[in-house]
Chain A
Amino acid sequence: DAGITQSPRHKVTETGTPVTLRCHQTENHRYMYWYRQDPGHGLRLIHYSYGVKDTDKGEVSDGYSVSRSKTEDFLLTLESATSSQTSVYFCAIRPRDSTGELFFGEGSRLTVL
């Protein structure tokens, strides 16, 4: 158990509304990641963080922003949700002593109507 909690686990919202997903970890890992999972596309990296207030874009960052004001929390925000952002979102951490393997949360299923 990597101590990763995602909230909310399920959310239905309407187009144009802001949405924030939270990833909380309990083990002080430096690296945290947000991926989205869509059928036929595997997992695609949205944003990642390498420390408090240190974040960078992944391959599908348009329409998303992130923040990390504390080591344990990594927030993903959709400023104005669109139907194309309906997806399952996964948070992951990479332990300091790993060789790149990731540990994932259980996911947040977002539906944008």
Chain B
Amino acid sequence: AQSVTQPDIHITVSEGASLELRCNYSYGATPYLFWYVQSPGQGLQLLLKYFSGDTLVQGIKGFEAEFKRSQSSFNLRKPSVHWSDAAEYFCAVGAGNTNAGKSTFGDGTTLTVKP
């Protein structure tokens, strides 16, 4: 069975500071990994994805994530946080186009940005 753990329920950072959100996954084969962002009252938006190749992937809004197979991790990073980054972030693992493309989501991390 596939699962995702986001160890941090809530993180607060100052505007301009760096950010790292943690994600650990459990999956029996090569994982397809995703980070989504959800602003209040909105649906989820894809930030970035990994399924093969370079283990450091770039996404939208200046985010990047690094896949580390040995640690079963896919942590999200941003060098300098903006106030507009305040949102909830979800990590997800899936099977690509197999298994009906079903994804399993973590419980989310809420990011607060201090001025």
Chain A residues at the B interface, C-beta cutoff of 8 Å: 4, 31, 33, 35, 40-45, 48, 50, 56, 58, 90, 92, 94, 98-107
Contact = CB atoms under 8 A, between A and B. Distances in A.
A90 B43 contact: yes
Interface of B: 4, 9, 32, 34, 41-46, 49, 51, 90, 94-97, 100-108
Given A58-B102, A94-B101, A99-B49, A43 B43 contact: no
A100 B34 contact: yes
Question: What DSSP secondary structure best describes chain A's contact surface?
Answer: strand
B100 A48 contact: yes
Contact of A105 (B32, B43, B101): B43
A104 B43 contact: yes
A42 B89 CA distance: 10
B107 A56 contact: no
Contacts of B95: 100
Contacts of B108: 42
Contacts of B105: 35, 42-44
